[in-house]
Structure 1
Amino acid sequence: MGEQDHTPGKDLQPRTRTEAPGKKSWHPQAYALGAVSNFMSTFLTFPIYKVVFRQQIHAVAVSQAVRQLWHEGPQYFYRGIYPPLLSKTLQGTLLFGTYENLLCSLCPVGPHSLGHRCTAGLMSGVVEAVALSPFERVQNVLQDGRKQARFPSTFSILKEFHSYGLWGRLSMGYYRGFWPVLLRNSLGSALYFSFKDPIRDSLAEQGLPHWVPALVSGSVNGTITCLILYPLIVLVANMQSHIGWQSMPSLWASAQDVWDTRGRKVFLIYRGGSLVILRSSVTWGLTTAIHDFLQGRARSRKELKD
Structure 2
Amino acid sequence: GGSATAASEESASRDTAAASGKHYLCGYCAAFTNIAVTFPIQKVLFRQQLYGLRTQDAVRQLRRDGLRTLYRGILPPLMQKTTTLALMFGLYAALAGTTEAVLTPFERVQTLLQDYKHHDKFTNTYQAFKVLKAYGMREYYRGLVPILLRNGPSNVLFFGLRGPIKQCLPEATSYSTHMVNDFICGGLLGAVLGFLFFPVNVVKTRMQAQIGGEFQSFSKVLVKIWLERDRKLIHLFRGAHLNYHRSVLSWGIINATYEFLL
* TM-score (normalised: structure 1): 0.77
* Paired AA for residue 33 in structure 1: C
* Cα deviation, residue 129, structure 1: 1.8
Corresponding residue number in structure 2 for 1:14: none
For 1:290 and 1:72, the matched residues in 2 are separated by 32
What's the C-alpha RMSD, in Å, of the aligned pairs?
Answer: 1.6
Q: Secondary structure at the match of 2:120?
A: coil
Corresponding residue number in structure 2 for 1:238: 206
Aligned counterpart in structure 2 of residue 140 of structure 1, from 105, 111, 115: 111
CA deviations on 1:236-292 (whole Å, 9 max, x unpaired) are 111000002x33433332111111111111100000011101110000001100111
* Cα deviation, residue 202, structure 1: 3.1
For 2:194 and 2:164, the matched residues in 1 are separated by 19
For 1:81 and 1:239, the matched residues in 2 are separated by 20
How high is the sequence identity, in percent, across the aligned residues? 37
1:55-204 pair list within 5 angstroms: 55-99=48-92, 121-130=93-102, 132-164=103-135, 168-170=136-138, 173-204=139-170
Corresponding residue number in structure 1 for 2:37: 44
Corresponding residue number in structure 2 for 1:211: 179
Q: Which moved more, 1:79-88 or 1:199-208?
A: 199-208
* Paired AA for residue 95 in structure 1: M
- Structure 2, unmatched stretches of 5+, are 1-7
CA deviations on 1:47-66 (whole Å, 9 max, x unpaired) are 11000000001101000000
- Structure 1, unmatched stretches of 5+, are 1-19, 100-120, 296-306
* Cα deviation, residue 207, structure 1: 4.0
Q: 1:74 to 1:206 in 2, by over 3 A?
A: closer
For 2:67 and 2:33, the matched residues in 1 are separated by 22
Q: Secondary structure at the match of 2:30?
A: helix
Count of aligned pairs: 248
Is the aligned partner of 1:274 residue 2:245?
no
* Cα deviation, residue 198, structure 1: 1.6
Q: Could you say which structure has the higher helix fraction? A: 2
* TM-score (normalised: structure 2): 0.90
* Cα deviation, residue 21, structure 1: 5.8
For 2:154 and 2:241, the matched residues in 1 are separated by 19
Aligned counterpart in structure 1 of residue 256 of structure 2, from 271, 274, 289: 289
For 1:232 and 1:207, the matched residues in 2 are separated by 39
Is the aligned partner of 1:255 residue 2:222?
yes
For 1:219 and 1:247, the matched residues in 2 are separated by 38
* Paired AA for residue 200 in structure 1: K
* Paired AA for residue 271 in structure 1: R
Q: Secondary structure at the match of 1:38?
A: helix
